[in-house]
Amino acid sequence: MNFRSTRARVTAPIAAALTLLVIGGPVAAQTASDAAVPFIGCAADGQMGPLAPPATGAAPAVPSPARDQLAYYAAKHLAVLAPRGWHCFELYGSNGATLIVTPEPHNAKDLLRPDSSLQGPAVQLSLSDGETNGRFAVAKVAARIFPVAQGFVDQVIAEGILPKSEFPAGPYPDDKLTRKSARVVEFTTPGKRDGLGTASRLAKNADPIDGVAILSPENNLLQLSVRLPTAQRELAATIIEATEADRGRRQAQLAPIFVSGTDQLGTVRQFLARCDRGARDFDWCEANIISIGALYADKLCSDLLAVTGSAEADNQKADAIAHKVVALLRSNPDYLDDDAQQTVLIALMALSGCH
């Protein structure tokens, strides 16, 4: 596997999850009473075929007594806390990914049936990509609870693919909403009522559905819906808090890649040496490409400003500066070879951080 060419074709749900990771808030502080819960790998199936469950991975620390009742269910694209002893499966495609955790086992065949729904307890975490056909799901939720994304909603409606009636404005009448920020909204859908909780695979029944919807600046939507047995319902708060902290991204992929004192280009070379030949730890490489790109961009910025001068860099049009960055990349032997598409991508990354 050539990681350099592969990373330019990362599937939509992975790219969207990485974006959510970048905008995500800090992981909750751990205390002496916190300890990691068990890690459970989940199989997946979708556009690129079946995927085996991850064999190992890190799990978040959870305070007692909740940690004795929870496990961390992780598939290729998403991960979430749910009660121990349950079963998990992920569906993925160009529109995004959905991780289902239930007391009973499921697979792609039964989850993809037209009449498929979850009648009992369940935890569902879904990621919808705002740049693909996942944009319709994003716009439907944004129209109800994210005024900050009204422009995006209007754009989707203007396409004319779905009628405007498919995007009703304003919250569901019976939902209880807690707005954590302009892009993070917690919700409770009461039993036997329609709401954000039932705008999922969870069919309404007598029990309430708790959850959270998180909208990235790029209009990718992460939505968690949690319906637990009455005796375990207090666990919903812990599950929601953890999702808000890690944005549904597998913690196994957050290993640091930088060593204090290592020069920037040296670190870039170490990254590509590990990830460009064979990519045995593809998840690690995939998760760290944003960090390494930022480091690469930082080095490019310092050299660019040395060539152009800060005043010129501040005032030049973006396309003119991009041409200078590309020329710098192509002419300077200190930089690693790259194809034209990746060169332009890295140049644009550099521009976003140059001041």
Rounded to whole angstroms, how far apart are CA atoms 265 and 126? Answer: 37
The answer to whether the beta carbons of residues 73 and 86 sit under 8 Å apart is yes
Rounded to whole angstroms, how far apart are CA atoms 275 and 292? Answer: 11
The answer to whether the beta carbons of residues 38 and 83 sit under 8 Å apart is no
Query: What pLDDT is stored for residue 330 in this prediction?
Result: 55
Q: Which tens digit of pLDDT belongs to each residue from 42-67?
A: 999 988 889 999 888 888 889 889 98
Residue type, 235: L
Helices (H), the chain: 3-6, 12-23, 108-111, 135-145, 150-158, 235-246, 264-275, 282-308, 310-315, 318-331, 340-353
The more confidently predicted of residues 192 and 19 is 192
Domain chopping of the chain, boundaries: 11-253, 264-353
What is the residue whose two structure tokens read 């959870």?
Answer: 62
Task: Find the mean pLDDT for residues 97-111.
Answer: 95
DSSP string, 203-246: ---SS-EEEEEEE-TT--EEEEEEE--GGGTTHHHHHHHHHHHH
Q: Which tens digit of pLDDT belongs to each residue from 232-277?
A: 999 999 999 999 988 766 543 333 444 444 555 566 666 666 665 4
Rounded to whole angstroms, how far apart are CA atoms 115 and 351? Answer: 48
Q: What's the whole-number average pLDDT of the chain?
A: 76
The more confidently predicted of residues 43 and 14 is 43
The more confidently predicted of residues 14 and 311 is 311
The answer to whether the beta carbons of residues 235 and 69 sit under 8 Å apart is yes
| Residue 312 tokens, joined | 């010129």
The answer to whether the beta carbons of residues 240 and 224 sit under 8 Å apart is yes
Reduced DSSP (H G I as helix, E B as strand, rest coil) percent helix, strand, coil of the chain, to 5: 40, 20, 40
| Residue 89 tokens, joined | 């499966």
Rounded to whole angstroms, how far apart are CA atoms 62 and 251? Answer: 13
Query: What pLDDT is stored for residue 60 in this prediction?
Result: 87
